[in-house]
Chains A and B, each alone.
Chain A
Amino acid sequence: MEKTLPTQPAELVKPPATDIGILGWLKANLFNGWFNSLLTVIVIYLIYLAAPSFIQWAFLDSSWAANSEQCKMAGAGACWSVITANIRFILFGFYPHDLQWRPLLAVVILVLLLVYSRNRSHWRKSLFYGWLVGLFVMGLLLKGGLFGLEPVESNNWGGLPLTLLLSVFGLTAAYPVGILLALGRQSKMAVIKSFCVVYIELIRGVPLISLLFMSSVVFPLFLPEGMVINKILRAQVAIILFTAAYIAEVVRGGLQGLDRGQYEAAEALGLNYFQTMRLIILPQALKIVIPPSVSILISAFKDTSLVVIIALYDLLKTTQTTLTDPKWMGYSAEAYIFVAMIYFVCCFFMSNYSRKLERELDTSR
């Protein structure tokens, strides 16, 4: 049964074990040089201090299904039942209890559409119509009033669907507006240019909260009597206007980063302004600004939580409301960890996607 080990010819001699595999990785990433080695040791020590007690709290001593009394009796561990017991209110706010399958279905449709749209080879006309149909169905599900669906006042919309609605629409609408503003700011026509400059500087000069406040308190004063514009819509418009100003500046950076020769080559071919922008300039400029754009989109997504200021119950607010219930007071750590994870998953999706896009659009290799 014994086999003799084949002797290795010289060309099969491997590099030193410390340069490849796990050892190589450790050496290259954690212990290259005394300073990094020191940092690694310190970080490992800190993890060693913090991790066991966190695991003890979050998993070993935690209760998942207990009611609030039992949680209080149990003592030290995490009481995740604050989530499980209130999950429907946290996710859907004041949406009527027995109709909550509708916002749930709307969110599922939205997520499916987003995931499907990740792949650029799916970007066809049919996908565009798919989004139109999807948007209509989502609106219908939330609002009701057609096909025997019971109507639900938009005042009762809340939680996750509201957060996603405000951010997905806010961001998709803000991006084109931002591009137009950036192009306008570069325009040779003085009126357009100064309008865009004033708009951008004005909006960037005020906090989002004040814009939301104005849209909800000041703006209605100017409307004719009896005319009411939906509160969610007003918040949505405020978010779009706000985000667009930031997008505009980022896109302008991309436009300026392009070589002057690209404009000249396009012009020399006889392309007009709109063709030049659409076919030559914007595809390149927008590619350059993917990383800063995504930063803005991520922060805008998180900023939607500021709509609490005008009494909209987004995901964060419904969570906070749960915590004001005397039964569940004092479990804020668990509740906030939960919403933080939802926010994190969404933001991670965005940044992950942006890296994928960058890789796919890189034509320099």
Chain B
Amino acid sequence: MNTTQTDNNAIITIDDMHKWYGDFHVLKNINLTVTRGERIVICGPSGSGKSTLIRCINRLEEHQRGSIIVDGIELTNDLKNIEKIRAEVGMVFQHFNLFPHLTILENLTLGPIWVRKTPKKEAEATAMYYLEKVRIAEQAKKYPGQLSGGQQQRVAIARSLCMKPNVMLFDEPTSALDPEMVKEVLDVMISLARDGMTMLVVSHEMGFAKSVAHRVLFMDGGEILEENEPHAFFTAPQHERTKLFLSQILE
């Protein structure tokens, strides 16, 4: 009984997953189970494969060995499955990737209207709700190019939320921002965490990790070297590589 319990509760199960770019082994033997409502921060030096890992979860990247199961659906080459999973998994990018030719409101309603087949009125109401939530509703009629970086990233988060995802992936959401804008984005992410969203966040924002993460993963050379709950992770890192990394970013 106990095993089915955990299985039901797991929203992402990655088992013995490997990925290569040509000959280069980017991800090695990844095993990771994420339960519903869990918040995980992934850190590590650049080139360690942390972005690639979360991009595998909605198949922006393809893995070659092992399995990834998201919400009961295994990621294979079946396009229908991939589109279904992508609709369930929200993603926020380092460079926001808003659609510059559409207004903020259109950016938010596009997915619900075309993928979820939501009526336009309803999609717009949902969009305004989430724009309120990221405190940017007054900009709905503007174009992305007219907003600051921090505002754009908040819009990008709202855009993902409009799809009512079960999981949110964040790929270095604050590293392209000017320092004074980091906080406004982190605040939105923290309030999202309070609402119980399942989140996988690639980030070096250690304050964020300490305050909202259940677990912190450290990756290097394509492997998950260490994982622990935040307090233990920051105060008593086990691995030499982790110690070095932490000393470098915390100084």
Contact = CB atoms under 8 A, between A and B. Distances in A.
B84 interface: yes
18 contacts: A259-B95, A261-B95, A265-B91, A265-B93, A267-B60, A269-B87, A269-B110, A269-B163, A270-B84, A270-B163, A271-B110, A271-B114, A271-B115, A272-B79, A272-B83, A284-B101, A363-B143, A364-B143
Which 7 A-B residue pairs are closest in the complex by CB-CB distance?
A: A270-B87, A265-B97, A261-B97, A270-B86, A269-B111, A363-B143, A268-B91
A77 to B, nearest CB: 55
Q: Name A's interface SS.
A: helix
B111 A270 contact: yes
A264 B100 contact: no
Given A264-B93, A268-B91, 13 more contacts: A259-B95, A261-B93, A264-B60, A265-B91, A265-B99, A267-B86, A268-B89, A269-B115, A269-B159, A271-B83, A280-B99, A363-B145, A365-B145
A279 to B, nearest CB: 6
B167 to A, nearest CB: 12
Interface in B122-149: 143-146
A96 interface: no
A283 to B, nearest CB: 5
Contact of A279 (B60, B79, B86, B114): B114
Contact of A264 (B97, B98, B111, B144): B97
A337 interface: no
A84 interface: no
B100 A363 contact: yes
Interface string A276-291: 0001100110010000
Contacts of B100: 284, 363-364
Interface residues of A, number: 22
A287 B145 CA distance: 16
A285 to B, nearest CB: 10
Nearest to A264: B60
A269 B145 contact: no
Contacts of A365: 145-146
A37 interface: no
Given A261-B95, A363-B100, A268 B86 contact: yes
Nearest to B142: A363
B97 A363 contact: no
Contacts of B83: 270-272
Given A265-B97, A267-B60, A270-B163, A279 B145 contact: no
B82 to A, nearest CB: 9
A280 B115 CA distance: 14
B203 interface: no
Q: B83, B99, B159: which has the most chain A beta carbons within 10 Å?
A: B99
Contacts of A268: 58, 60, 86, 89-91, 93, 160
Contacts of A280: 99
A262 interface: yes
A361 interface: yes
Interface of B: 58, 60, 79, 83-84, 86-87, 89-91, 93, 95, 97-101, 110-111, 114-115, 143-146, 159-160, 163
A270 B60 contact: no
Contact of B101 (A265, A271, A283): A283
B101 A287 contact: yes
Contacts of A53: none
Contact of B110 (A261, A272, A279, A284): A279
A262 B99 CA distance: 7
A361 B101 contact: yes
Contacts of A283: 101
B26 to A, nearest CB: 17
A151 B222 CA distance: 76
A88 to B, nearest CB: 47
A36 interface: no
Contacts of B163: 269-270
Contacts of A261: 93, 95, 97
Contacts of B95: 259, 261
A57 to B, nearest CB: 51
Given A269-B163, A364-B143, A364-B145, A262 B97 contact: yes
Contacts of A279: 110, 114
Q: A267, A271, A280, A363: which has the most chain B beta carbons within 10 Å?
A: A363
Q: B83, B89, B145: which has the most chain A beta carbons within 10 Å?
A: B83
A362 to B, nearest CB: 9
B147 to A, nearest CB: 11
Interface string A228-267: 0000000000000000000000000000000101101111
Contacts of A264: 60, 91, 93, 97
A275 B83 CA distance: 12
A166 to B, nearest CB: 33
A112 to B, nearest CB: 30
A275 B111 CA distance: 10
B86 A269 contact: yes
A365 B147 CA distance: 10
A365 B146 CA distance: 6
A275 B97 contact: no
A112 B111 CA distance: 38
B157 to A, nearest CB: 13
A326 B80 CA distance: 73
Contacts of B93: 261, 264-265, 268
